[in-house]
């Protein structure tokens, strides 16, 4: 009899733990990124997360912050060229969430991100063409704040302002799907 009661308690407690199990989620966003001294660029990205509870999650993501095409022509020398610069972000963050009411919540992010700048330029002049490619990266702290709305228990939308670098501000709107 004791073994049956103990087994029932173990099953009941494991069911309660399973009901409160952390949730995985995936999502995508579009962003507007401003690098100090330049125009805003449209970006996009994806993220995955793991909720430890309704207030704490860990999240990883990859984002294309900017894709800038450049063209130049020097009428004095006749040299012309074109180039491209891409800024990518890979990040891992802790996300703290404060539930409000009717599906709304506030959240804050603090973590680590790696920013990578890839450039490629081709210049043509005097019958010659020269192409240069370069890549550099920098590791920085990332932080941000945002608001989220749960459309259903598994689908949420969010808007966030993020600082992946002191010279970069990203405003993103996204959707996530929990499972």
Of all helices (H) and strands (E), which one includes residue 154? none
As to burial, measured by CB atoms within 10 angstroms (0-12 exposed, 13-18 middle, 19+ buried), residue 6 is exposed
- Say yes or no to pLDDT of 77 above 90: no
Summary mean pLDDT of the chain: 88
- Mean pLDDT across 140-165: 96
- Residue 1, pLDDT score: 54
pLDDT tens digits, one per residue of 4-55: 554 554 454 444 444 444 599 999 999 999 988 788 899 999 999 999 999 9
DSSP of the chain, one letter per residue? -HHHHHHHHHHHHHHHHHHT--EEEEEEEEEEEEETTS-EEEEEEEEEEEESSSSEEEEEEEEEEEEEEEEEEETTTTEEEEEEEEEEEEEEEEEEEEE-STTEEEEEEEEEEEEEEEEEEEEEETTEEEEEEEEEEEEEEEEEEEEEEESSSSEEEEEEEEEEETTEEEEEEEEEEE-
pLDDT tens digits, one per residue of 95-115: 999 999 889 999 999 999 999
**Tokens at residue 118, please?**
């890839």
């Amino acid at each position: 009899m004791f073994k049956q009661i103990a087994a029932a308690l173990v099953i009941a407690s494991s069911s309660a733990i399973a009901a409160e199990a952390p949730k995985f989620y995936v999502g995508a966003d579009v962003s507007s990124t401003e690098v100090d001294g330049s125009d805003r660029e449209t970006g996009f990205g994806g993220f995955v997360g793991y909720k430890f509870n309704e207030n704490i999650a860990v999240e990883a993501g990859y984002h294309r912050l900017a894709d800038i095409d450049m063209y130049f022509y020097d009428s004095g020398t006749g040299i012309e060229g074109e180039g491209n610069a891409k800024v990518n972000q890979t990040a891992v963050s802790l996300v703290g969430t404060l539930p409000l009411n009717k599906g709304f919540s506030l959240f804050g992010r603090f973590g680590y991100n790696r920013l990578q700048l890839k450039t490629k330029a081709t210049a043509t002049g005097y019958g010659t063409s020269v192409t240069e490619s370069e890549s550099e990266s920098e590791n920085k702290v990332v932080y941000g704040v945002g608001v989220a709305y749960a459309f259903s228990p598994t689908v949420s939308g969010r808007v966030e302002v993020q600082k992946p670098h002191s010279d970069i501000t990203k405003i993103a709107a996204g959707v996530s799907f929990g499972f």
